[in-house]
A and B are shown apart, each in its own frame.
Chain A
Amino acid sequence: MIIADSLVKRFSNQTVVKGVSFQVERGEVLGVLGPNGAGKSTTLRMLAGCLEPDGGQARLNGFDSALQRREAQTYLGYLPEGAPAYPSMTPLSYVRFCLRARGFSGSALKDAADHALERARMGKMAHKSISDLSKGYKRRAALAAAIAHDPPILILDEPTDGLDPNQKDAVRALMAEMAPKKAIIISTHLLDEVETMCSRAIVIADGEVRANASPHELMHLGREVSLASAFRTLTAPTEPLHTPSQICHHGDGS
Chain B
Amino acid sequence: MTGLYALYRRELAAYFQTPLAYVFLSVFALAAPGFTWQAGALFDTGRADLAPLFDYLPWLLLFLMPALAMRAWAEERDRGTLEMLLATPMSLWSAAGAKFLAAWTMAACALILTFPLWIAMNYLGAPDNGAIATGYGGALLLAGAYLALGQALSATTPNQVIAFVLGAGACFLVTITGLPFVFDMLADHLPGASAEALGELSALARFESLRRGVVTLRDVLYFLSLIGLGLTLSVTLIDARRGGGR
Q: Is the CB of A84 within 8 A of B89?
A: no
Compute how far the CA of A74 lies from the CA of B90 in the bound complex, rounded to whole angstroms: 10
Complexed CA–CA distance, A76 and B87 (Å): 8
| Contacting residues, chain A, for B17 (C-beta < 8 A) | 88-89
Are B6's CB and A88's CB within 8 A? no
A50 near B246 with CB under 8 A, answer: no
Among A51, A84, A93, point to the contact of B84 (Cβ < 8 A): A84
Q: For residues 78 through 116 of chain B, which have their beta carbon under 8 Å from a beta carbon of chain A?
A: 79-81, 83-84, 86-91
CA distance A11 to B81 in the complex (A): 21
Contact of B244 with A10 in the complex, beta carbons under 8 Å: yes
Q: CA separation between A161 and B5, bound complex, in Å?
A: 33
- Quote the shortest CB–CB distance from A54 to chain B (angstroms): 7
Instruction: Tell me the bound Cα distance from A48 to B82 in angstroms.
Output: 13
Return the chain B residue nearest A50 by Cβ.
Answer: B86
A181 close to B (CB within 8 Å):
no
Contact with A along B1-22 (1 / 0, CB 8 A): 0110111011001100110000
A59 within 8 A of B: no
Q: How far is the CA of A98 from the CA of B90 in the complex (A)?
A: 11
Are the CB atoms of B5 and A51 closer together than 8 Å? no
B6 to chain A, nearest CB (A): 4
What is the CA–CA distance of A231 and B179 in the complex, to the nearest angstrom?
A: 67
In the bound complex, CA of A46 to CA of B91 (Å): 17
CB nearest to A86 among chain B residues: B81
Among residues 17 to 61 in chain A, which have CB atoms less than 8 Å away from a CB atom of chain B? 45, 48-52, 54
A52, A78, A88: the one within 8 Å of B87 (CB): A78
**Contact-residue size bin, chain B (C-beta under 8 Å from the other chain):** 20 to 34
Among the listed A9, A74, A86, which residue makes an inter-chain contact with B89, where contact means beta carbons less than 8 Å apart?
A74
Give 19 A-B contacts (CB < 8 Å), ordered by A residue: A9-B244, A11-B244, A49-B86, A70-B91, A71-B89, A73-B89, A80-B80, A81-B83, A85-B81, A86-B10, A89-B14, A100-B2, A100-B6, A101-B2, A101-B7, A102-B2, A102-B3, A102-B88, A142-B84
Report Cα–Cα, A217/B69, bound state, in Å: 54
B79/A84 in contact, CB under 8 A: yes
Interface of B (DSSP majority class): helix
B180 part of interface (Cβ distance < 8 Å): no
Judged by a CB distance under 8 angstroms, whether A103 is at the interface is yes
Q: Is A180 in the interface zone, CB < 8 Å from B? A: no
Known: A87-B79, A89-B17, A102-B3. 9 other contacts (CB 8 A): A48-B86, A49-B87, A51-B244, A52-B244, A80-B87, A84-B83, A89-B10, A100-B9, A101-B7
B192 at interface (Cβ–Cβ under 8 A)?
A: no
List chain B residues, Cβ under 8 A from A97: 6-7, 9-10
In whole Å, how far is B235's beta carbon from the nearest beta carbon of chain A?
Answer: 14
Is A82 an interface residue when CB atoms closer than 8 A count as contact? yes
Residues of chain A within 8 A (CB-CB) of B13 are: 89, 93
Known: A50-B83, A88-B17, A101-B7. A11 touches B88 (CB 8 A): no
* Residues 204 to 246 of chain B near chain A (Cβ within 8 Å): 242-244, 246
> Min CB distance, A68 to chain B, in Å?
10
* Residue in chain B with minimal CB distance to A45: B83
Give B98's nearest chain A residue, CB to CB.
A101
- B242 contacts across to A, CB distance below 8 A: 49-52
B243 / chain A contacts, CB cutoff of 8 Å: 51-52
Smallest Cβ-Cβ distance to B85: which chain A residue: A101
Query: In the bound complex, do residue A80 and residue B84 qualify as a contact, i.e. CB atoms below 8 Å apart?
Result: yes
Question: Which 6 A-B residue pairings sit nearest by Cβ, starting from the closest?
Answer: A84-B80, A100-B6, A88-B17, A70-B89, A78-B87, A73-B89
> Nearest-CB distance from A72 to chain B (Å)?
8
Taking CB atoms, residues of chain A closer than 8 Å to B9 are: 97, 100
Do A102 and B5 touch across chains, with their CB atoms under 8 A apart?
Answer: no
B243 CB to closest chain A CB, in angstroms? Answer: 5
CA distance A87 to B243 in the complex (A): 27
Asked if B83 and A103 sit within 8 Å, CB to CB, the answer is no
Interchain CA distance A93-B87 in the complex, whole Å: 18
Contact digits for A138-162, partner B, Cβ 8 Å, 1 yes 0 no: 0000100100000000000000000
User: Which residues of the partner chain B approach A100 to less than 8 Å between Cβ atoms?
Assistant: 2, 5-6, 9
CA distance A100 to B5 in the complex (A): 8
Question: A69: shortest Cβ distance to chain B, in Å?
Answer: 8
Residues of A within 8 A of B90 (CB): 70, 101
* Residues on the B chain within 8 Å of A76, using CB: 87
Contact A73–B87 (Cβ < 8 Å): yes
**Bound CA–CA A76/B5 (angstroms):** 21
How many angstroms from the CA of A50 to the CA of B82 in the assembled complex?
Answer: 9
Partner of A102 from B81, B83, B89 at Cβ < 8 Å: B89
